[in-house]
Structure 1
Amino acid sequence: MADDIGEALRVEILGAQHDRSAFESGIEPLDRYFRVQAGQDARKNMAAPFVLVLSDGTVAGYYTLSSTAVNLWDLPEKTARKLPRYPLVPATLLGRLAVDRRHQGKGYGRFLLADALFRAVRSEIASFAVVVDAKDDNARRFYERESFLSFPDQPMKLFRPMADIEQLFK
């Protein structure tokens, strides 16, 4: 985990002071988004990008949060049965999460995920779950290890109920 290496870590809202030009996770769409689009999305309130900053100011990773809605009938029947019969259920979208390849394997991905889940559960906006769209099978397995559940007909789209996330931080 990140604490094991003695690194001072902090997660901040993306700002002009954060150098994004050298960020390279190895997944081009995530890198391009971070270098080109993340600042615009923040300014237009389309997503809230957060960055993991090391003690030397290096950006080691990032994630984005935004609001979304899930079609009630896309959820597993066991989950949908417990919810009100609204056609759309409010959720929080963890739109992107990436760690720079120079810092992979240090637990920073889990650190960023924990920070994102904490911010989502702490929010005063109604949200049934945190939803992710895994970019590939490695990402899907990462989220499954962190107790995310797949949508029945969309194995790359996963969710973790907010009630479950709340239990993590009690």
Structure 2
Amino acid sequence: MIAEGFRIVPLGKHERASFCSGVDALDRYFREQVTQDVRRRLTNCFVLADATDGVVGYYTFSAASVPLTALPESLSKGLPRYPVLPAGLIGRLAVDRRNQGQGWGGLMVVDAAVRAIRADPAIYALIVDAKDDHAAAFYARLGFQCFVGHERRLFIPLSEIAKRL
């Protein structure tokens, strides 16, 4: 599934200073903030590393919840009337410019989905907050759909991902 020599691992002592996705907020977060957030247990960070341990991309993953009222009626009508449902949040996802357009972003989303499916706590869906229309279109191509009333907050039920895997 992943190309030889590449692997997705928890953030370690990876060299981050030269990482450049072209989105300043994502790059700055990865260089300056993510370690503190991991240490505080606010998120986990996973790195797509190449054979030399260089960073191809990264994503953050944390617990979240989905208000039942934010789901399209076609999905919510078959669910229990709990006020919120458990979810996993891909808070940030970025691929270094030198590696964009090669499917690495989609691979990291699949990795997050597999982690969510294997998690001991139940997780109903993956959530993403797309930074812009380009990112929203990327997630839509992967099968994510918008929450009711939100163009850039998207989700995909893990049952949908499990069917595809």
Q: Check whether TM > 0.5.
A: yes
Confirm or deny: 8 A CA contact 1:2 1:107 kept in the other structure. no
In the aligned structure 1, how far is the partner of 2:113 from the partner of 2:158? 9
Residue 50 of structure 1: aligned partner = 46
Residue 24 of structure 2: aligned partner = 28
Confirm or deny: 8 A CA contact 1:73 1:80 kept in the other structure. yes
Which one of the candidate residues 157, 160, 163 is aligned to 2:153? 157
Amino acid at match of 2:116: A
Residue 93 of structure 1: aligned partner = 89
Show the 5 A alignment for 1:31-110. 31-110=27-106
Confirm or deny: 8 A CA contact 1:2 1:106 kept in the other structure. no
Residue 13 of structure 1: aligned partner = 10
Aligned-pair CA distance for 1:8: 1.4
Is it true that 1:131 corresponds to 2:134 in the alignment? no
Structure 1 residue runs without a partner (length 5+): none
Q: Which segment is superposed worse, 107-116 or 22-31? A: 107-116
Structure 2 residue runs without a partner (length 5+): none
Structure 1 consecutive aligned stretches of length 4 or more whose deviation exceeds 2 Å: none
Confirm or deny: 8 A CA contact 1:132 1:157 kept in the other structure. yes
In the aligned structure 1, how far is the partner of 2:119 from the partner of 2:46? 15
Confirm or deny: 8 A CA contact 1:20 1:35 kept in the other structure. yes
Aligned-pair CA distance for 1:2: 6.4
Q: Percent identity?
A: 47
Aligned-pair CA distance for 1:105: 1.6
C-alpha RMSD over aligned residues: 1.3
3-state SS in 2 of match to 1:154? coil
Is it true that 1:114 corresponds to 2:87 in the alignment? no
Aligned-pair CA distance for 1:168: 2.6
* TM-score, scaled to structure 2: 0.95
1:74-105 deviation line (CA, Å, top 9, x unaligned): 11111111111111111110111100111112
1:46-93 deviation line (CA, Å, top 9, x unaligned): 001000000011101000110001111011111111111111111110
3-state SS in 2 of match to 1:140? helix
